[in-house]
Amino acid sequence: MSQDKPRKKPEELRSHRWYGVKDLRSFGHRSRTAQMGYHRSDYAGKPVIAIINTWSDINPCHSHFRQRVEEVKRGIWQAGGFPVEMPAMSLSEPFQKPTTMLYRNLLAMETEELLRSYPADGCVLMGGCDKTTPALIMGAVSMDLPTIFVPAGPMLRGNWNGNTLGSGSDTWKYWAELRAGNITEEDWQGVEDGIARSPGHCMTMGTASTMTSAVEALGLCLSGYASIPAPDSRHAQMASLSGKRIVEMVWEDLKPSDLLTEASYDNAVRTVLALSGSTNAVVHLIAMARRSGFGLDLDRFDALARSTPVLANLRPSGKYLMEDFYYAGGLRAMLAQMQDLLDLSQRTVDGCTLGGNIAGARIFNEDVIRPRGQAIIERDGLAVLRGNLAPDGAVIKPPAMEARLQVHTGRAVVFKDYNDMAERIDDPALDVDADSVIVLQNAGPQGAPGMPEWGQLPIPQKLLKQGVRDMVRISDARMSGTSYGACVLHVSPESYVGGPLAFVKDGDLISLDVPGRKIELRVSDEELAARKAAWQPPQPRFERGYGVLYLKHIGQADTGCDFDFLQTGQRAGAAGEPEIH
Ligand code: FES
């Protein structure tokens, strides 16, 4: 039971305005519910639970959600609630072009508006594939009804010819080997058939695993459940338990605003860092925190990174996959190793505190989850860079790069956009060597548009054949959480809006200094100013539709890429929700 609120009465439920009053409109709501085969005893005086389900035929990561939603409903019925499934935009990472990130805020808006416009007393959010998690949470945080998140869970380990395969990471690895001529087309086909062999999201520590773990650390899903593999029967149990719990949360009036604090966001950031999680979490957690009214920023990530060890030995930075992580004790076991770095008093949807949830959690494989004294690295799972090339910041993931490149100066090889890069990167005549710095422009929030995961820029084929497997690469794009390499990402402001990245030319010297947190273009201020004066702003990319709204309101990466009109800090549910007529 919530510590400071009286238990709700049925007539205080939000849905009472649709179902409980005696007027013409309520007659319509009740008669139309009867039309669907429900008797008034099925819903009268019960919490209506909206299940926002991001299942679709085009999203393989959520292919089990058709079944899981039945298990969520079972829990809701058993606890005395009335489940109402509401399908929402799926954001399928492998299929949606140019990138799901273009649509993250659209799903966030859809979530908020579904909850606002229908008789929801609380909600279950079903997501997991990359952007679905932050989008659902952003929308629900803005609406601020009792909320519980059901994570899709990771798929099983991939397998090919006895090799364990990890989503994304091994795609990039074997693609490089194919281009270098070290594996055959037949081998490549085997990788294709074996790398994704069950429902569930990517099972490396990519964006999906990172964000679902962050949500558990925030206290928005049942404790210990973000790591369960999707096909495991315990995942189905989790779905049912979440359905039961959300009904109680409505009676307790336990809302995101009761759970989320600056300290709980710090807990989430530290969790991401200890997992060596995806750099995408920087953008998403900043956006989520700002929806909650907190000013999380890049400097906070960098400050926490300096005192957070990496404890999870997971690809792409490490060796294992999420299935191994779960069997080794899962997120609770890892968090129990870093209790001194967390605010254990933070409340969670379980009705408990984070400290209570992780008390006594044990590690069952100390190579997968490292005990505190045996960290993979003691600090710097992520670093924020600044300098004349990125005045508002950029990020890099030091554990996922070759250490020799942490302090490096090289000649720029510049591609003006993705198509330019795709055309020329493998040209044998390209003037590039292993010390060069590859630069991609126009790949940011407005430039691409949508800030796609192009940031792991390909290594030129002629260098791959020489054995080069990592180089310094710089862009205003994001990078898949399953990717790796010395990739400087999220350069802000982006080149498309006239950030300094737009003015880099072939042959310019660029210096990267990860320990010093610097990224510098070695060109004089006068020369930079002259290039800026000669720069022509590009034409807008959209002339109609959602794209126009997107371009007009999208923020830069350092502020979370949310729409400006959604970052007001005013919650829809708390501030001026319109009357129902
Ligand atoms: Fe869905 Fe990776 S493609 S999580």
The DSSP code for 36 is T
| Residue ranges for the chain with pLDDT beneath 70 | 1-3, 568-581
Q: Which amino acid is at 24?
A: L
How many whole angstroms from 310 Cα to the centroid of ligand 1? 23
For residue 213, the CA-to-ligand 1 centroid distance in Å is 15
Whose CA is closest to atom 3 on ligand 1? 93
Q: Which residues of 298-314 are buried (b: 16+ CB within 10 A; e: fewer)?
A: bebbbebbeebbbbbbb
In three-state secondary structure terms, 323 is helix
Q: Give nearest CA residue, ligand 1 atom 1.
A: 129
CA distances from residue 226 to 91, 128, 223, 229, 280 in whole angstroms, order as listed: 19, 9, 8, 9, 18
CA of 551 to the centre of ligand 1 (A): 25
Instruction: Report phi then psi at 384, rounded to 5.
Output: -100, 125
Q: Map residue 467 onto helix, strand or coil.
A: coil
Centre of ligand 1 to C-alpha 265, Å, is 24
Ligand 1 atom closest to the CA of 482, numbered from 1: 2
| pLDDT number for residue 281 | 97
Atom of ligand 1 nearest to the CA of 207: 4
Write the CB contacts of 347 (distance below 8 Å, at least 6 apart in sequence). Answer: 219, 258, 259, 353, 354
Residue among 201, 205, 211 to mutate when testing ligand 1 (max atoms within 8 A of CB): 201
| Ligand 1 geometric centre to CA of 208 (Å) | 6
Å from CA of 94 to ligand 1 middle: 7
- Residue bearing tokens 């600044």: 386
Q: Is 485 left (phi over 0), alpha (psi -120 to 50) or beta?
A: left
**Residue among 63, 93, 169, 205 whose CB has most ligand 1 atoms within 8 A, to mutate:** 93
Residue 297: partners with Cβ closer than 8 Å, 6 or more residues away: 286, 558
Of ligand 1's atoms, which has the minimum distance to the CA of residue 167? 2
Are the beta carbons of 120 and 76 closer than 8 angstroms? Answer: no
Residue 503 has what pLDDT? 97
User: Ligand 1 centre and the CA of 229: distance in Å?
Assistant: 14
Ligand 1 center to 395 CA (angstroms): 22
- Confidence at residue 571, expressed as pLDDT on a 0 to 100 scale: 56
Residue 372, amino acid: R
The H or E element spanning position 287 is helix 280-291
For ligand 1, what atom is nearest to the CA of residue 59? 1
Candidate from 61, 65, 156, 210 with most ligand 1 atoms within 8 A of CB, to mutate: 61
Name the residue of 58, 130, 278 whose CB sits within 8 Å of the most ligand 1 atoms, as the mutation to test its pocket.
130
State residue 574's pLDDT score: 45
CA 388–ligand 1 middle distance (angstroms): 34
Pick the atom of ligand 1 nearest to 128's CA. Answer: 4
Please identify, by atom number, the ligand 1 atom nearest to the C-alpha of residue 92: 1
For 83, the 3-state DSSP assignment is strand
Q: How many Å lie between the centroid of ligand 1 and the Cα of residue 152?
A: 10
Provide the percentage of residues in the chain whose pLDDT is more than 90: 92
Looking from the CA of residue 480, the nearest atom of ligand 1 is 2
Within 10 A of 238 (CB to CB), how many other CB atoms are there?
24
Nearest Cα neighbor of 481 from 205, 229, 134, 133 is: 205
Measure 95 CA to ligand 1 centroid, in angstroms.
Answer: 10
Listed in sequence order, the residues at least 6 apart from 74 whose beta carbon sits closer than 8 Å to its beta carbon are 240, 243
- C-alpha dist (Å) from residue 349 to 119, 246, 250, 268, 357: 21, 8, 11, 15, 11
Atom of ligand 1 nearest to the CA of 60: 1
Q: Using the mean position of ligand 1's atoms as its centre, give its distance from the Cα of residue 97 in Å.
A: 14
From 270, 342, 276, 282, select the one nearest 312 (Cα to Cα): 276
**Ligand 1 nearest-atom number relative to CA 61:** 1
Cα(61) to centroid(ligand 1), Å: 6
Residue 569's pLDDT is what? Answer: 60
Taking CA atoms only, the protein residue closest to ligand 1 atom 2 is: 202
Q: How many other CB atoms are found less than 10 A from the CB of residue 535?
A: 12
Task: Provide the token pair at 17.
Answer: 């305005």
Give the H or E element holding residue 521: strand 518-521
Residue 16 is encoded by which pair of tokens?
Answer: 């009472």
Residues with CB under 6 A from ligand 1: 61, 93-94, 129-130, 167, 201-202, 206, 208
CA distance 58 to 318: 30
**Interval between CA 359 and ligand 1 midpoint (Å):** 31
Give the Cα separation of 43 and 48 in Å (integer): 7
Q: Report how far ligand 1's centroid is from the alpha carbon of 509 (Å).
A: 36
| Diameter over CA atoms, the chain | 79
DSSP assignment letter at 405: G
